[in-house]
Chains A and B, each alone.
Chain A
Amino acid sequence: MKRQGIYLYKIVALFLFVIGIFFPFFIKDQYILRIINMSFIYIILSMSLNLITGVTGQFHLGHAAFYGVGAYTAALLSVKLHMSFLLSFIAGGIGAAFLGFLIGLPTIRLRDIYLTVTTLGFGEIVRLILLNWVSVTRGPMGIPGIPYPSLFGFKITSQIDFYYLIFFVLVLSVVVLFRITYSRYGDILRAIRENELAAKTLGINSTFYKVTAFVVGAFFAGLAGSLFAYFSAYISPDSFTFAESINILAMVVIGGLGSMPGAMLGAVILALAPEGFRFLAEYRMVVVGLLMLGVILWRNSGIIGEQAAIKFMNMKIGGK
């Protein structure tokens, strides 16, 4: 029997979408728009890590590597080869996805903390390559002068232009990752996380799913990296450190490991907190540290835990 009524999450999503569309009509402050743009990029990053670490349970400490490879691929293609925005933007995602495939492969052999430390090692190696391969990446000097993206004749220059570009990519990522996370594919990923042996017994090719989760997650992190490269017009290895991986992981865990709405909320909180506490001057990051500790002590499984998120997905208005 089919239940009537409208899913609550669809209403919430529509509401947020409308706010997102009209936001720059009311807030025109460049500084605020810049922070919002950055927090959108972080939402993409934290959602993509959530797919790998939250949903598939592969504890990954090298997400900044995907982010960085995406950024460097896009930046190098557009600065050195003068490729168009759209091509280098997508190439950033594909470059990161290839790295995701490489990092995903050891999951065949390595489990738990051994896998974790391998992803950490990969992440550091990628950063050190960016730092030391001076002839291509210019090393610590970074890549300046990344041109403004132009799309179908429009040149994207102002914060508001960037806002809509990033917002569009964000909405696209949310839709795609949502369809992936809450689908049969997502259920299989969760089954592997809960009990890989049992999943295999049921005929699931767990290697295929684990590696593809890495590839998809890396692809979106790479897109976020491309956006970041164009948005900030300058990139250097300093932006893609282990601390950044940890920062993204903190967003996922604080929001709720395995929960997509959680990952989005966590990203917004941790991206805005350092700006929001700016009045505290040098005490600001001290407070951010305490905030992380406090949130996790208050809600162990994140603000919107995985179960809360699934319950929310099934909530309906009207009908029975």
Chain B
Amino acid sequence: MLGQQLVNGLALGLTYSLTAIGFTLIFGVLGLINFAHGEVYMVGAFIAFTLVAFLHVNYFVAFLLAIAFSGLMGYFLELIAFRPLRNAIPEATLIATLGVSTFLKEFANIIWGPEVHTINTPFLSSSFAIGGIQISVIQIVILVVSVLLMWGLQIILYKTKTGYAIRAISQDMGASYLMGVNVDNTIAMTFVIGSALGGAAGVLMGTYYGAFYPTMGYMPGLKAFVAMVLGGLTSIPGAVLGGVILGISETLAGAYISAGVQDAISFLILIAILLFFPQGLSGKKRGV
């Protein structure tokens, strides 16, 4: 029973982590919150849904296309809602992303309708037992894909020029600009990477729960935000850890206490942790 809940919690937590990384990258670079991140997650999921359900594209091809589309959305999101407001008060950007978020949610409502959609993936939802613990193929996929994506992110951040630039900007935007870093392009790239990860999380979660609907990004967006803060805002390992802690504690609370407290538990944990560690779990000054 406990092992089963841990497996379920880990799968849930890893998708929170993927979503939280997007928040963290953007916060690390700009110091701003992107309230449209949950909607990028939702649109990414719906793109995969449309490709699989209506165009009968292979699931994994659809998954890659959805990631690419989410990345593209991140690019335009930065162009529309962040770049023009870079010198404005932070609240202005927040409301701009909120406008984009409302727009995307309602637009999805018109295109796909408010009802819950599902895709039929017999292979992914089949499961097998290891030592009495039921593990479904989609849980394995979530684990493998999350680890691959996070590993890929580390390579991008630490082995490529773009990664260097992202890390430089997150430490000091002005100095990076003076050193010849192309700030505009790098920030756009950060959004592309962060949104692609968010979209990937959306597709995985939509498949895992078998539910695609226009407001599906709302709660995970909120939880990922919490995971980011738990992890110390700008630390990527911290965000991953925060996401996993949230996922596992929620699943355990849902199984052993009641389904009603499942959502409350993550916020209770958040407040409890922040009261003791006001800078998050692995909080450091600055830098991705």
Chain A interface residues toward B at CB < 8 A: 53, 59, 106, 109-111, 113-114, 117-118, 120-122, 124-125, 128-129, 131-132, 242-243, 246, 249-250, 253-254, 257, 282-283, 285-286, 288-294, 296-297, 300-301
Residue of B nearest to A59 (CB): B91
Question: Which of B88, B98, B105, B268 is close to A250, meaning CB atoms less than 8 Å apart?
Answer: B98
Pair B89/A257 contact, Cβ less than 8 Å: yes
Complex CA distance for A129 and B264, rounded to whole angstroms: 8
Pair A125/B264 contact, Cβ less than 8 Å: yes
Q: Which B residues between 73 and 128 are near A, CB-CB below 8 angstroms?
A: 80-81, 84-85, 88-89, 91-92, 94-96, 98-107, 109-110
Pair B99/A290 contact, Cβ less than 8 Å: yes
Pair B92/A253 contact, Cβ less than 8 Å: yes
Pair A296/B92 contact, Cβ less than 8 Å: yes
How many chain B residues sit at the interface, stated as a range, is 35 or more
CB of B5 to closest CB in A, whole Å: 21
Pair A292/B95 contact, Cβ less than 8 Å: yes
Complex CA distance for A4 and B279, rounded to whole angstroms: 53
Chain B interface residues toward A at CB < 8 A: 27, 33, 35, 80-81, 84-85, 88-89, 91-92, 94-96, 98-107, 109-110, 218, 222, 225-226, 229, 233, 258, 260-261, 263-264, 267-268, 270-271, 274-275, 278-280
- On chain A, the residues within 8 Å of B218 by CB distance are 243
Q: Which of A249, A283, A286 has the most CB of B within 10 A?
A: A286
Between A and B, 11 residue pairs with Cβ closer than 8 Å are A109-B275, A117-B226, A118-B270, A118-B271, A120-B226, A125-B271, A242-B222, A253-B91, A253-B92, A254-B95, A285-B102
Interface of A is mostly: helix
Residue of B nearest to A116 (CB): B33
Complex CA distance for A29 and B60, rounded to whole angstroms: 57
Question: Which of A106, A122, A243, A301 is close to B89, meaning CB atoms less than 8 Å apart?
Answer: A301
Complex CA distance for A59 and B225, rounded to whole angstroms: 15
- On chain A, the residues within 8 Å of B261 by CB distance are 128, 132
- On chain B, the residues within 8 Å of A110 by CB distance are 274, 278
Q: A124-B222, A242-B222, A297-B85 are in contact. List 14 more A-B contacts (CB 8 A).
A: A114-B274, A121-B267, A121-B268, A121-B271, A125-B267, A125-B268, A250-B95, A250-B98, A285-B102, A286-B107, A289-B102, A292-B95, A293-B100, A300-B85
Question: Which of B80, B94, B258, B275 is close to A253, meaning CB atoms less than 8 Å apart?
Answer: B94
Residue of A nearest to B230 (CB): A117
Pair A289/B85 contact, Cβ less than 8 Å: no
Pair B110/A282 contact, Cβ less than 8 Å: yes
Complex CA distance for A291 and B96, rounded to whole angstroms: 10
- On chain A, the residues within 8 Å of B85 by CB distance are 296-297, 300
- On chain B, the residues within 8 Å of A113 by CB distance are 27, 33, 229, 233
- On chain B, the residues within 8 Å of A301 by CB distance are 88-89, 92
